[in-house]
């Protein structure tokens, strides 16, 4: 990856057509609340992330959803999603 993505929000949702399949959704860090994504699937976790040439890091929580980052589980899921791009 040759570009940094700093200060993004993310929500991991359960795919509405495939229960048990977790899908991360990225949002700009300003202007939208995490809860906007809750309309497209059941939220599982949420927080903030940074993506750069060094890797991916997820942290924090969503106050609007009352959900936290799942630490390494979310970091790994986001990392795998970016590798698929």
Q: 14-30: per-residue pLDDT in tens?
A: 988 888 899 999 988 88
In a 3-state reduction of DSSP, which class is residue 38?
A: helix
Amino acid 46: pLDDT: 96
Q: Residue 38: left if φ>0, alpha if ψ -120 to 50, beta else—which one?
A: alpha
Verdict on whether the full-model pTM lies above 0.95? no
Domain of 71? 5-83
Q: What total of structural domains would you count in the chain?
A: 1
């Amino acid at each position: 990856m040759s570009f940094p993505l700093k200060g993004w929000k993310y929500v991991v949702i359960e795919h509405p057509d495939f229960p048990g399949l977790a899908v991360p959704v990225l949002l700009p860090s300003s202007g939208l609340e995490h809860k906007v994504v809750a309309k497209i699937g059941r939220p599982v976790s949420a927080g903030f992330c940074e993506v750069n040439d060094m890797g991916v890091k997820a942290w924090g929580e969503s106050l609007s959803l009352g959900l936290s980052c799942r630490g390494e589980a979310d970091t790994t899921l986001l990392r795998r999603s970016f590798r698929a791009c």
